[in-house]
Structure 1
Amino acid sequence: MADGIIKPFVDENYWQYGVTKWIEWDMTSSARAIISGPSGSGKTVLATGITSKISRHLSGCEIFLLDYKNVDFAYLEGAKHYFKYDDCLEGFTQFYDIFEERLKQNTTYNWLVLYIDEYPSWLLSFPAKEQKEIMSKMARLLNLSRAKQIHIIVSAQKPLAEFFSVGSRESFSFKVLLQAPSKETINMLMPSYKDEIETCPTGVGYYTVNDANLTKIRVPFPQNVKAMHDDLWSAVNR
């Protein structure tokens, strides 16, 4: 596999005919991705797959992982850039400061990835004033990180507009919606396809790139979970 190319999920339409057609993401172009779906929809499996494959195929990358719930990624405890519960703000601040330093320079860097698990739950743990400060910084990251070898990936059960500064939610180039449980959720991320998207079983959903080419996808359950965890640990501990 070429460096920087990951295959996070398969085309569901082919899968139904017994054909495994992996969908490629080129991570050497700046990716701002949002993964949405209800609890039990497969978000954690997909997020683990994406981040672990980035770890393996994006040379020298560093991953900052913010795990407010301290549940699904607890195996990363002790890794340099793993932040849980109340420590997530420290991790976000460290990442943002690196981003601001990169803005001052015109050079090439190693890839830097921020993954925030259940972003809305973390954001709602703060008073209103601090929420606005975080949202402002998130908007700046989404708008200006493209040329600085930085990826932003978040997961959210419901990516309400109120969790993002005006217009910043639309800055996500990759959008994944698992299960598609309600028209309300569809309208948040993929309103142009509200008449095409159907409710799906766990691990099945839809994705778009720059709001185009709606594709039905499936997230296969990993065959070697330990290897995925080891790959992710390596990048989070750099």
Structure 2
Amino acid sequence: GKAASLALEEYFAPILAERRKNPADDLISRLAVAEIDGERLEDGEIFSFLRLLLPAGVETTYRSLGNLIFGLLTHPEQFEAIRADRSLIPQAIEEAVRWEAPLLTITRVATKDTELGGIAIPAGSSVMPMLGAANRQEDRYEDPDSFNIFRPARANISWGYGAHVCLGMHLARLEMRVAMNLLLDRLPNLRLDLDGNDPHIRGQVFRSPTALPVLFDATS
């Protein structure tokens, strides 16, 4: 992990140096010129931002897309419904991130003494909400373990909530919509390749298919 962190810092260092000299209209430039109480951020502080933003902007989105495609390919009748009516794609995205959240847990610190479910949580305690479990509460979702793009719309917790809502959720939704439309445009009769394959979703913190072998028809 430390080696990977240093590798990312080495990757970002010349980019940050260039943005300090020649700011552009991008996030790294904004961090380079930002001030807090009259002081600029140090390189190490900016690298900390970027080490989080790079995977946050890529990993959860590709995992969410993989889970969506897996859900559709293993429920062909729902995939056919989307082929016939692409306006269903947004609700399919919401169902996919509810059914198989790309990130199952997230750590927070209690800012004051509180109680949840009869359990006392002192201020300063680390808590780890289980997003995947919250998305499958039987008192909130009917048949919560099933993938069903037609279920009544109810907000899920995969995007976070309140002050902790995901800043990139609108971009992630857009990327997934674009990807699904391109798959439908370019890969006719897309389907799972089950010849000796057993694709499945796995992971204890981050979840997505390890591989998703597919077949599709050739185009002229």
TM, length-normalised to structure 1: 0.22
Which structure has the greater CA radius of gyration?
2
TM, length-normalised to structure 2: 0.23
Greater helix content: 2
